[in-house]
Amino acid sequence: MGQQIALPEELAAQIEQILSELRIRAQVDCVLLADISGQLIASQGEVEGLDPVLVAALAAGELAAMTELTHQIGEKSPTSSFLHEGEKKSLYISDVAGTFILIVAFPAGVPVGLVRLFIRRAVERLRPLAAEFEDMIHRARPALGADFGAALSGELDRILGEM
Protein backbone atom coordinates (compact mmCIF):
# COMPACT_ATOMS: atom_id res chain seq x y z
CA MET A 1 0.00 0.00 0.00
CA GLY A 2 1.12 3.58 -0.63
CA GLN A 3 1.76 6.42 1.74
CA GLN A 4 -0.97 7.40 4.18
CA ILE A 5 -1.45 10.58 6.16
CA ALA A 6 -0.01 10.34 9.68
CA LEU A 7 -2.73 10.86 12.28
CA PRO A 8 -2.56 11.14 16.04
CA GLU A 9 -2.95 7.65 17.52
CA GLU A 10 -6.32 8.30 19.17
CA LEU A 11 -7.87 9.82 16.02
CA ALA A 12 -6.52 6.97 13.88
CA ALA A 13 -7.93 4.38 16.30
CA GLN A 14 -11.38 5.98 16.24
CA ILE A 15 -11.39 6.08 12.44
CA GLU A 16 -10.20 2.47 12.16
CA GLN A 17 -12.94 1.36 14.58
CA ILE A 18 -15.67 3.08 12.54
CA LEU A 19 -14.37 1.66 9.26
CA SER A 20 -14.05 -1.83 10.72
CA GLU A 21 -17.60 -1.78 12.08
CA LEU A 22 -18.91 -0.52 8.75
CA ARG A 23 -17.12 -3.28 6.85
CA ILE A 24 -18.44 -6.01 9.13
CA ARG A 25 -22.01 -4.77 9.63
CA ALA A 26 -22.65 -3.82 6.00
CA GLN A 27 -20.97 -7.02 4.75
CA VAL A 28 -18.71 -5.13 2.34
CA ASP A 29 -15.29 -6.08 1.00
CA CYS A 30 -13.36 -2.88 1.51
CA VAL A 31 -13.76 0.52 3.17
CA LEU A 32 -11.36 3.38 2.43
CA LEU A 33 -11.18 6.84 3.93
CA ALA A 34 -9.34 9.62 2.13
CA ASP A 35 -9.02 13.33 2.68
CA ILE A 36 -10.80 15.60 0.22
CA SER A 37 -7.65 15.86 -1.93
CA GLY A 38 -7.59 12.08 -2.35
CA GLN A 39 -4.80 11.12 0.04
CA LEU A 40 -5.54 7.79 1.69
CA ILE A 41 -6.04 8.06 5.44
CA ALA A 42 -7.21 4.58 6.43
CA SER A 43 -8.50 1.33 4.98
CA GLN A 44 -10.23 -1.84 6.13
CA GLY A 45 -10.53 -5.01 4.09
CA GLU A 46 -9.38 -5.44 0.53
CA VAL A 47 -10.43 -6.31 -2.98
CA GLU A 48 -8.11 -8.29 -5.21
CA GLY A 49 -6.50 -6.00 -7.77
CA LEU A 50 -7.70 -2.81 -6.08
CA ASP A 51 -5.02 -0.20 -5.37
CA PRO A 52 -6.36 1.77 -2.37
CA VAL A 53 -4.14 4.80 -3.00
CA LEU A 54 -5.23 5.04 -6.63
CA VAL A 55 -8.89 4.49 -5.76
CA ALA A 56 -8.74 7.25 -3.12
CA ALA A 57 -7.28 9.71 -5.63
CA LEU A 58 -9.79 8.76 -8.33
CA ALA A 59 -12.70 9.03 -5.88
CA ALA A 60 -11.64 12.57 -4.98
CA GLY A 61 -11.64 13.51 -8.65
CA GLU A 62 -14.99 11.82 -9.19
CA LEU A 63 -16.54 13.60 -6.20
CA ALA A 64 -15.26 16.96 -7.47
CA ALA A 65 -16.60 16.22 -10.97
CA MET A 66 -20.01 15.14 -9.67
CA THR A 67 -20.24 18.22 -7.47
CA GLU A 68 -19.60 20.45 -10.48
CA LEU A 69 -22.07 18.49 -12.61
CA THR A 70 -24.79 18.98 -10.01
CA HIS A 71 -24.05 22.71 -9.98
CA GLN A 72 -24.30 22.76 -13.79
CA ILE A 73 -27.83 21.36 -13.64
CA GLY A 74 -28.87 23.95 -11.09
CA GLU A 75 -28.55 22.04 -7.82
CA LYS A 76 -27.58 24.29 -4.94
CA SER A 77 -26.18 21.72 -2.54
CA PRO A 78 -23.13 19.70 -3.54
CA THR A 79 -23.30 15.98 -4.20
CA SER A 80 -22.89 14.12 -0.94
CA SER A 81 -22.76 10.57 -2.28
CA PHE A 82 -23.11 8.46 -5.37
CA LEU A 83 -23.21 4.82 -6.31
CA HIS A 84 -21.76 2.73 -9.13
CA GLU A 85 -23.52 -0.62 -9.47
CA GLY A 86 -21.41 -3.13 -11.36
CA GLU A 87 -22.11 -6.70 -12.42
CA LYS A 88 -19.72 -8.16 -9.83
CA LYS A 89 -18.77 -5.27 -7.55
CA SER A 90 -20.36 -1.99 -6.61
CA LEU A 91 -18.79 1.19 -5.31
CA TYR A 92 -20.37 3.76 -3.01
CA ILE A 93 -18.59 7.09 -2.51
CA SER A 94 -19.70 9.55 0.15
CA ASP A 95 -18.52 13.00 1.18
CA VAL A 96 -17.95 13.44 4.92
CA ALA A 97 -18.30 17.08 5.97
CA GLY A 98 -16.29 18.32 2.98
CA THR A 99 -13.18 16.89 4.64
CA PHE A 100 -13.16 13.13 4.10
CA ILE A 101 -14.26 10.81 1.33
CA LEU A 102 -15.65 7.43 2.36
CA ILE A 103 -15.28 4.77 -0.34
CA VAL A 104 -16.99 1.40 0.04
CA ALA A 105 -16.54 -1.55 -2.35
CA PHE A 106 -19.00 -4.42 -2.03
CA PRO A 107 -20.25 -7.48 -3.91
CA ALA A 108 -23.18 -6.92 -6.25
CA GLY A 109 -25.33 -9.31 -4.17
CA VAL A 110 -25.25 -7.13 -1.04
CA PRO A 111 -28.43 -5.00 -0.79
CA VAL A 112 -27.64 -1.37 -1.63
CA GLY A 113 -30.14 -0.14 0.96
CA LEU A 114 -28.27 -1.99 3.70
CA VAL A 115 -24.96 -0.53 2.57
CA ARG A 116 -26.44 2.97 2.35
CA LEU A 117 -27.90 2.70 5.87
CA PHE A 118 -24.58 1.70 7.44
CA ILE A 119 -22.68 4.30 5.41
CA ARG A 120 -24.99 7.04 6.69
CA ARG A 121 -24.36 5.90 10.26
CA ALA A 122 -20.60 5.82 9.68
CA VAL A 123 -20.68 9.29 8.10
CA GLU A 124 -22.46 10.68 11.17
CA ARG A 125 -19.79 9.16 13.42
CA LEU A 126 -16.99 10.46 11.18
CA ARG A 127 -18.23 14.09 11.08
CA PRO A 128 -16.77 15.13 14.46
CA LEU A 129 -13.53 13.36 13.56
CA ALA A 130 -13.45 15.32 10.30
CA ALA A 131 -13.64 18.55 12.30
CA GLU A 132 -10.82 17.32 14.54
CA PHE A 133 -8.77 16.42 11.45
CA GLU A 134 -9.34 19.91 9.99
CA ASP A 135 -8.17 21.50 13.25
CA MET A 136 -5.08 19.26 13.23
CA ILE A 137 -4.24 20.23 9.63
CA HIS A 138 -4.63 23.96 10.34
CA ARG A 139 -2.44 23.73 13.45
CA ALA A 140 0.22 21.82 11.50
CA ARG A 141 0.53 24.46 8.79
CA PRO A 142 3.17 26.96 9.77
CA ALA A 143 1.96 30.52 9.61
CA LEU A 144 4.10 32.60 7.29
CA GLY A 145 4.83 36.14 8.32
CA ALA A 146 3.89 39.08 6.13
CA ASP A 147 7.54 39.64 5.27
CA PHE A 148 8.18 36.01 4.24
CA GLY A 149 7.82 36.69 0.50
CA ALA A 150 10.24 39.62 0.60
CA ALA A 151 12.74 37.65 2.69
CA LEU A 152 12.54 34.66 0.35
CA SER A 153 12.95 36.85 -2.71
CA GLY A 154 15.96 38.60 -1.17
CA GLU A 155 17.58 35.31 -0.22
CA LEU A 156 17.01 33.85 -3.70
CA ASP A 157 18.50 36.97 -5.30
CA ARG A 158 21.53 36.68 -3.02
CA ILE A 159 22.04 32.96 -3.76
CA LEU A 160 21.47 33.28 -7.49
CA GLY A 161 23.63 36.39 -7.64
CA GLU A 162 26.56 34.37 -6.28
CA MET A 163 26.38 31.88 -9.14
The CATH number of the domain where 102 resides is what? 3.30.450.30
Q: Is residue 1 part of a domain?
A: no
Residue 102 phi/psi, 5-degree rounding, is -100, 125
pLDDT per 10-residue tile (average), the chain, 163 residues: 66 95 96 94 90 94 89 82 93 94 94 95 95 79 62 72 67
Per-residue model confidence (pLDDT) at position 3: 46
State phi, psi for 126 to the nearest 5 degrees.
-80, -20
The predicted pLDDT at position 157 comes to: 72
Q: Residue 72 falls within a domain, yes or no? A: yes
Give the orientation angle of helix 9-26 with respect to helix 112-140, to 10 degrees.
170
Residue 64's domain comprises: 9-161
Is the residue at 34 inside a domain?
yes
Domain count for the chain, please give it. Answer: 1
**Residue from 61, 41, 58, 59 nearest 1 by CA:** 41
pTM greater than 0.85: no
4 found inside a domain: no
Instruction: Identify the pLDDT of residue 2.
Output: 43
